[in-house]
């Protein structure tokens, strides 16, 4: 296992075995690292290239992708800065590894930075699987997402992400022009087998022909 560094991000990269499978940008939750979602990526889209960065922000020693002021209260200036940093990392990684625009697969904090990156730097991603995401910015940026597909999987019993907040994120993304599928699972903040099955099925249907955006 080799850890690489590009644009200030420590990360893992696994080349893809199937040129028709979309590259996946794997974004972990609070306290995770570049290894956390590798197994998930392999399960969701066998054959995809996997790009998995470590969040550069530390909160009590736990890696995250941006600062927060309290649980559910984000430092929005830092969200904007870190989304720009992530976009720059993806651009360098695409050049370094010869990748098409990736589909983000993010969990919790990783899903939130993926949503922010979509809204602030839409050219970075071909789409996104947002697992337990919430609204990252209080005001939706003026952006055109041009039909980018987004799967948002929320938990009806999630103690961290209120259901109305997740619904607002779905509305924000749809208003920006994304093609949003929002499913509320009978689960909490942790992922269930139903989440994994739904994400794998969605990826295979939406990107079956390698139809990522340049």
Q: pLDDT tens digits, residue range 141-176?
A: 999 999 999 999 999 999 999 999 999 999 999 999
Write down the pLDDT at residue 65.
98
Write down the pLDDT at residue 71.
85
- Helix H or strand E encompassing 102: none
Token pair listed for 53? 């960065």
Collect all residues with Cβ–Cβ distance below 8 Å to 112 and sequence separation of at least 6.
65, 66, 74, 79, 106, 133, 134, 136
Select 4-206's CATH number: 1.10.760.10, 3.30.300.30, 3.40.50.300, 3.40.50.1820: 3.40.50.1820
Write down the pLDDT at residue 118.
97
- Spot the catalytic one: 4, 10, 182, 189: 189
Sheet holding 149-155, edge to edge: 4-6, 9-14, 50-53, 24-27, 103-107, 127-131, 149-155, 179-185
Token pair listed for 36? 């956390």
- Spot the catalytic one: 85, 158, 172, 195: 158
Under-70 pLDDT residues of the chain? 1, 209-214
Is this model's pTM higher than 0.85 or not?
A: yes
Q: Alpha-carbon distance 89 to 157, whole Å?
A: 34
- Spot the catalytic one: 48, 108, 121, 195: 108
Instruction: Please say if 158 is a catalytic residue.
Output: yes
Backbone angles phi, psi at 93, to 5 degrees: -65, -35
SS3 76: helix
How far from 200 is each of 40, 123, 132, 184, 205, CA to CA, in Å?
A: 10, 23, 16, 16, 9
Q: Alpha-carbon distance 97 to 115, whole Å?
A: 24
Instruction: Please say if 4 is a catalytic residue.
Output: no
Q: For helices 163-175 and 109-120, give the axis angle rounded to 10 degrees.
A: 20
The one-character DSSP state at 196 is H
Boundaries of every domain in the chain: 4-206
Instruction: Please say if 189 is a catalytic residue.
Output: yes
Q: For residue range 114-128, list pLDDT tens digits in order.
A: 999 999 999 999 999
Write down the pLDDT at residue 208.
73
Write down the pLDDT at residue 77.
97
């Amino acid at each position: 296992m080799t850890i690489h560094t590009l644009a200030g991000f420590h990360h893992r990269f696994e080349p893809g075995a199937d040129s028709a499978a979309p590259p996946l940008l794997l974004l972990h939750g609070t306290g995770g690292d570049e290894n956390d979602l590798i197994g998930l990526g392999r399960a969701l889209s066998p054959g995809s290239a996997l790009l998995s960065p470590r969040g550069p922000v530390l909160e009590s020693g736990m890696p995250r992708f941006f600062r927060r002021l309290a649980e559910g209260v984000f430092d929005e200036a830092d969200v904007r800065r870190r989304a720009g940093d992530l976009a720059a990392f993806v651009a360098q990684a695409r050049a370094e590894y010869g990748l098409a625009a990736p589909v983000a697969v993010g969990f919790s904090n990783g899903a939130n930075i993926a949503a922010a990156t979509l809204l602030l730097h839409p050219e970075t991603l071909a789409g996104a699987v947002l697992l337990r995401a919430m609204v990252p910015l209080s005001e939706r940026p003026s952006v055109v997402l041009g039909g980018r597909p987004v799967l948002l999987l929320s938990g009806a019993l999630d103690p961290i992400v209120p259901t109305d907040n997740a619904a607002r994120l779905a509305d924000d993304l749809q208003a920006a022009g994304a093609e949003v599928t929002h499913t509320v699972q009978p689960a909490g903040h942790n992922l269930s087998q139903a989440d994994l099955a739904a994400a794998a099925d969605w990826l295979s249907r939406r990107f079956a022909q390698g139809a990522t955006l340049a």
